[in-house]
Amino acid sequence: MKIDYTAEQRALQPLLNAANINSASFLATDYLNHYNEIIMLLEMVPDMPDLVEDTYDWAPKSYAQHFIDSGFKDTDLAVEAFEIAPNAFKAPFQDIQAELDTVISATVQGLKAVNVLDRGLSEQAAQLIRNRVEQTQGLLAKLNQIIHGLSKIHTTDAGEVTSQEPENASDTKSQADIDALFD
C-alpha cells in the first residue's frame, strides 16, 4: 500500500525535517522524552527505593500537551503535523502510546499503593519493576521505530507501505498481582 499524502500534508512536509519532525510519519522523537525520564527512574528504583517518590508525579500526556509543556522550538508545527499525520503511522503510534501509558501508570500506582519507602521492596517486587522497565523499553523502541517510519509500518524503496503484525508484548499484571508482591 502506498501512502497518498493529502495536499495539506504535502504542503507541510518541507517544513518538518528542519524542525526535527519526520516528514514521512509527521511525528517527532522529542515526544519520547515524556517517557525516557520515568523509565530511567523506574529502572533505578529496585536498587535505590528512596527514588520512588520521584516517580509519583508522572502522568500520561497527550502528544500535543507534551509539546506545549516542553518548550520545543516548533511546538505549533509539531502539534499541527500530528493532527494531520497519516493514519498508517498515527494509529499504531497511538496504540503503543496507550499501552506505554497503561504499563507505566499501573507500575507507579502500585508503588504508591504499597508505600515502598516504609515497607521496602521484596526481591519479587524489584524483579517485577525490572520486568516492567524492560517491557516499557521495548514499547518505547517500537514507538521510536514508528516515528521513523519503521516497525509496524514498513516502507519499501518504491514508496509502498505494508503493515506488520506487532510482536506480543509481555503480559501486563493486574494491580492485584502487583499489590500481592509487596505484601
Each residue's pLDDT tens digit, 147-163 = 998 854 444 444 344 44
For 63-117, the pLDDT digits (tens) are 999 999 998 999 999 999 999 999 999 999 999 999 999 999 999 998 888 777 6
pLDDT at 10 over 50: yes
* Total count of domains within the chain: 1
- Domain ranges, residue 105: 7-182
For 21-49, the pLDDT digits (tens) are 999 999 999 999 999 999 999 999 999 99
* pTM given for the model: 0.79
pLDDT at 6 over 90: yes
**Is position 47 within any domain?**
yes
- Residues sharing a CB contact under 8 Å with residue 65, sequence separation 6 or more, in sequence order: none
| Confidence at residue 175, expressed as pLDDT on a 0 to 100 scale | 46
More confident residue, 120 or 71: 71
**Is position 133 within any domain?**
yes
pLDDT at 182 over 50: no
**Is position 50 within any domain?**
yes
**Alpha-carbon span 81 to 19, nearest angstrom:** 11
Cα separations in angstroms, 125 against 154, 172, 180: 38, 14, 9
**Is position 2 within any domain?**
no
Q: Rg of the chain over CA atoms, in angstroms?
A: 19
**Is position 16 within any domain?**
yes
| Confidence at residue 124, expressed as pLDDT on a 0 to 100 scale | 86
**Is position 48 within any domain?**
yes
Contact yes or no for 13/23 (Cβ under 8 A):
yes
**Is position 1 within any domain?**
no
Mean pLDDT of the 8-29 span:
95
| Nearest residue to 149 (alpha-carbon basis) of 17, 8, 12 | 17
